Structure 1
Amino acid sequence: MRETPQMKVDRYERPVAMSDPGRHAALFDGLPRGPSALATTVQGLLIHQHIAPAYGVTVGGDRQAQSQVRAVETMLGEIVARDARPLAVARAVTERQVGVCRHFTLLHVAMLRTEGIPARARCGFGAYFEAGKYLDHWVTEYWNEDRKCWVLFDSQIDDRQRELFGIGFDAADVPRDQFLVAGDAWSLCRAGSRDPSAFGILDLHGLWFIAGNLVRDIGALNNREMLPWDVWGAMRMRDSELDLAFFDRLAIVSREPDTHVDELAALDRDERVHVPGAVFNAVLDCVQGV
């Protein structure tokens, strides 16, 4: 049977796996509706581990562990354990769940899917945090039914961060040249249009880093939204160890996932990309079950 556009968006219409609120599903009852209102809700629940000082918050070692949480169900459990009020009530900045861009994105995706709005997490690089750099980042991509297209939404960017980073565009409609999905970043660098050394985070950068995000993006497109520092399969630490032809192919699927649905599904069975039962957590320097 030939797959229709509607069937493609349906794949992202319901919370599954890590986006499933599980036993906390009732917490999503009564949330405001629509991508923008839900992003505001997410911003009232989470604080970014590395941007917390801009809000006057110091994240101690004990709270940093919150950024290691993978599943929405666990995130919600920790949020309401500290404050049992409805999720639409913004928490004080000192009481928000600690995470990174991936946590903002995944919680936003889970809320959108609960409202029946097709949404998926995308792993790639943001050009709006540091001049001349494309920093490791995640955003939401949701189906805009009125426009009949996928739209990028950075649910992490609130008024404070818009000011902090000098962002002039609407975070509810991020331009594709401001956030590059991993496949676009790879293809541009392979074509010589971008410098791979501009892509990464801190002192970690290069083609190998883009390749890692390519694997993570394919995982997310298959509803396996891993931590930004989870390592498995074809990921490597050196450019010389990369199978360039394989990643060239992954880039095509990342760039145009809805025209390569069968290949995307096949990749979920490929040990080089498929998320195994245990991955290496590069931040904690250990293997963890997932």
Structure 2
Amino acid sequence: MDTTGTGTRRTATTGRATTPTLADYARHSAYSDPGPHADLLRAVAPTPAATGAAACATIVHYRAGRPALTDAQRADIDQRWLATILDTAVARQAGPLDAPRDLPRQVAGCCRDHTLFSLGVLRAHGVPARSRIGFAGYFEPPFFHDHVVVEHWADDGAGGGRWVRWDPELTPDSSWGFDVRDMPTGPGSPFPTAAEVWRAVRAGEVDPASYGVDPGLPQLGGKDFVRGYVLLELAHRMRDEVLLWDVWGATPDDVPGVAELWAQEADGDASAPEPSSDELDALADEVAALLVAADAGDAAAEAALADRYAGRWAARGRVTTLSPSGRVGITDLAERTTRWAPAP
């Protein structure tokens, strides 16, 4: 699938990626850039408590708790840029982002948006921060819901530090069984990363059917779903904080309308062969191993991830957007536009 914006359907050519540094994570990405709303972000204290509260005041999860959304809010969920999300928030209610909002004045989004908002606040204060893609086992155990959480760099004052992982949607409560503002990581974590889950699936250690969007939506879960989230985890680590329903690198031809939509984009350029399921499995094996090694402090693995992301598997140019609203579109990430397929 094309991710270049050149019209080639399946191939991607990008500039060579470099390993993000702490300085990179402390500055805005294209996604977390607040545009004209920087002062509103700087007015929020860069702590998990204050940032998470402001994120949840501004953004309501479009599905959790089954909120009664307006027609306008139902269209909110495909806003991938923080500047656009904040445009909508300010239009509905001016003033501080941590002020209470009635439901119709909130922006509908999901965990990715709560996390992106939090990254915006932290980076506005110069705090290195990144998003982590994985699965939360604490909402409806034993099921693990797809989820996105925050990591910020905590300097120890002696030239070192560590990444602190936290969930901006949670408030401290002993019932969680862990510190929601400094979540445990590694084996047995309440939030295993996509890479960790994929490796456990491949080793036969977990049932892939226990991982997905919801236990009542088995079509949005399982082995291939987890595999796709490994690429999402890589993209977010490289500061491309795409939507959870952005797809690239392999054409989702089983989704009605996708092939026809991309056929309209063709301009006669040669297309790369579509990867087989075995090839995608092997790619996920490699990327997942590198992600886990990088989390353990392996600088060579970090560099290898950047090299892997420099080519076809970067979420740049054009991607397929498979919105939970049922819409299917092609998004030009450079132009920040989406061409939606006609409703069936």
- Separation in 1 of the partners of 2:170 and 2:190? 13
Q: Which amino acid aligns with 2:304?
A: E
Q: Does 1:171 align with 2:212?
A: no
RMSD: 2.4
Question: Which one of 210, 218, 239 corresponds to residue 223 of structure 1?
Answer: 239
- Separation in 2 of the partners of 1:78 and 1:256? 39
Q: Is the 8 A contact 1:208 1:236 kept in 2?
A: no
TM-aligned CA deviation for residue 182 of structure 1: 0.9
Name the structure 2 match of 1:16.
Answer: 29
Percentage of pairs with the same residue: 31
- Separation in 2 of the partners of 1:66 and 1:158? 25
In the superposition, relative to structure 1, how do residues 36 and 256 fare at CA in structure 2: closer, same or farther (>3 Å)?
farther
TM-aligned CA deviation for residue 158 of structure 1: 4.1
Name the structure 2 match of 1:51.
Answer: 64
Aligned pair count? 277
Name the structure 2 match of 1:74.
Answer: 84
- For residues 70-120 of structure 1, give each alpha carbon's deviation from its aligned partner in whole angstroms, at most 9, with x where no partner exists: 001111111111111122323223321110010001110111111121110
- Separation in 2 of the partners of 1:224 and 1:103? 13
In the superposition, relative to structure 1, how do residues 131 and 155 fare at CA in structure 2: closer, same or farther (>3 Å)?
same
- Separation in 2 of the partners of 1:17 and 1:253? 25
TM-score by structure 2 length? 0.74
Looking at secondary structure, tell me which structure has more helix per residue.
1
Question: Which one of 275, 281, 286 corresponds to residue 315 of structure 2?
Answer: 275
Name the structure 2 match of 1:245.
Answer: 282
Gapped regions of structure 1 (runs ≥ 5): none
4+ aligned runs moved over 3 Å, structure 1: 234-238
Q: Is the 8 A contact 1:231 1:280 kept in 2?
A: yes
**251-260 or 66-75: which moved more?**
251-260
- Separation in 2 of the partners of 1:278 and 1:98? 24
- Separation in 1 of the partners of 2:320 and 2:90? 29
In the superposition, relative to structure 1, how do residues 34 and 233 fare at CA in structure 2: closer, same or farther (>3 Å)?
same
In the superposition, relative to structure 1, how do residues 30 and 50 fare at CA in structure 2: closer, same or farther (>3 Å)?
same
- Separation in 2 of the partners of 1:33 and 1:127? 26
- Separation in 2 of the partners of 1:227 and 1:20? 15
Q: Is the 8 A contact 1:52 1:58 kept in 2?
A: no
- For residues 210-235 of structure 1, give each alpha carbon's deviation from its aligned partner in whole angstroms, at most 9, with x where no partner exists: 11101111000111111111111147
Q: Specify the structure having the higher radius of gyration (Cα).
A: 2
- For residues 23-78 of structure 1, give each alpha carbon's deviation from its aligned partner in whole angstroms, at most 9, with x where no partner exists: 2222223222322211111111111001243xxx4013431111110001111111
Q: Which amino acid aligns with 1:265?
A: A
Name the structure 2 match of 1:129.
Answer: 139
- For residues 140-183 of structure 1, give each alpha carbon's deviation from its aligned partner in whole angstroms, at most 9, with x where no partner exists: 11112238211211102247xx69xx533222122331111111
- Separation in 2 of the partners of 1:277 and 1:102? 20
Q: Which has the higher contact order (CA 8 A, sep 6+)?
A: 2
- Separation in 1 of the partners of 2:317 and 2:229? 19
Alignment of 1:28-177 (within 5 A): 28-53=41-66, 57-146=67-156, 148-158=161-171, 167-176=176-185, 177=189
Question: Which one of 195, 205, 211 corresponds to residue 193 of structure 1?
Answer: 205
Gapped regions of structure 2 (runs ≥ 5): 1-18, 255-275, 334-344
